[in-house]
């Protein structure tokens, strides 16, 4: 079982560390996405290229690598799915191919959640949409949605999974330190703003 766990972690990490944002923008002839905006490889920074289609594709690919890791490994044993999903999330944020400098993890977080507890995705979506609609801050919507997920999982009786996602949520918050600073200062960009 230990070997299976190690294999699941390695599989998840390697799948999660595929830098789709970088690969997609390079393939489209837009160069290195790390040299614009925040320098991040995630969908939000890809959007700063001005190409919504590529940003959407990046979002889907970053989410689905988390889903795939969780489902494939989970087909052998549920705990292996959890391990692989968590590792995919870590791989996205700290990819070995890019000097451990990756994305902020929200899309992959959501993808892992889809693979492990799809009903909890509804809680994430409701919170994200409500905050995004009312306050028009994408980062704040994502942060509050990640707070809601462990609570939803706990209510659903999935205590172990709730603990795993609580750790993942804490990591998402750490990766959004700059956004939190801008939110507190009132300088964070709103959805639909030109700046």
The conformational region for residue 186 under phi > 0 = left, psi -120 to 50 = alpha, else beta, is: left
Instruction: Output b/e per residue, 68-78; b: 16+ Cβ within 10 A.
Output: bbbbbbbeeee
Q: Is 138 helix (H, G, I), strand (E, B) or coil?
A: helix
DSSP 3-state percent helix, strand, coil across the chain (nearest 5):
75, 0, 25
**115 and 85 in contact (C-beta within 8 Å)?**
yes
Percentage, residues of the chain above pLDDT 70: 98
**Could you give the count of Cα atoms lying within 13 Å of 183 in the half-sphere of its Cβ?**
16
The pLDDT score that the predictor gives to residue 118 is 96
Mean pLDDT within 90-119:
96
Q: Examine the pLDDT at 193 and tell me if it is beyond 80.
A: no
Which pLDDT tens digit goes with each residue over 117-161?
999 999 999 999 999 999 999 999 999 999 999 999 999 999 999
Distance CA 155, CA 163 (A): 12
Q: Examine the pLDDT at 103 and tell me if it is beyond 90.
A: yes
Q: Which of 58, 167, 101, 61 is nearest to 69 (CA)?
A: 61
Which pLDDT tens digit goes with each residue over 66-97?
999 999 999 999 999 999 999 999 999 999 99
Distance CA 70, CA 116 (A): 6
The pLDDT score that the predictor gives to residue 27 is 95
Which pLDDT tens digit goes with each residue over 156-178?
999 999 999 999 999 999 999 99
The pLDDT score that the predictor gives to residue 1 is 83
Average pLDDT of the residues of the chain: 94
Question: Which two three-digit tokens encode residue 53?
Answer: 């289609």
Band of pLDDT at residue 45, cut at 50, 70 and 90: confident
The pLDDT score that the predictor gives to residue 194 is 57
pTM of the model as a whole = 0.94
Mean pLDDT within 103-120:
97
Mean pLDDT within 39-60:
90
Distance CA 49, CA 38 (A): 12
């Amino acid at each position: 079982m230990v070997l299976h766990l190690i294999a699941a972690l390695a599989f998840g990490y390697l799948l999660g560390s595929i830098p789709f944002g970088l690969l997609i923008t390079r393939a489209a002839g837009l160069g290195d996405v790390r040299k614009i905006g925040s320098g991040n490889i995630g969908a939000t920074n890809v959007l700063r290229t001005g190409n919504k289609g590529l940003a959407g594709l990046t979002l889907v690919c970053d989410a689905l690598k988390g889903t795939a890791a969780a489902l494939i490994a989970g087909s052998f044993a549920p705990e292996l799915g959890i391990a692989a999903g968590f590792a995919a999330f870590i791989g996205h944020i700290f990819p070995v191919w890019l000097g451990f400098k990756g994305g902020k993890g929200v899309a992959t977080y959501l993808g892992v959640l889809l693979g492990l507890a799809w009903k909890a995705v509804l809680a994430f979506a409701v919170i994200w949409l409500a905050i995004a609609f009312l306050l028009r801050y994408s980062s704040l919507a994502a942060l509050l949605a990640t707070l809601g997920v462990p609570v939803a999982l706990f209510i659903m009786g999935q205590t172990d999974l709730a603990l795993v996602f609580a750790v993942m949520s804490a990591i998402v918050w750490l990766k959004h330190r700059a956004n939190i600073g801008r939110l507190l200062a009132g300088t964070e960009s709103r959805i639909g703003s030109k700046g």
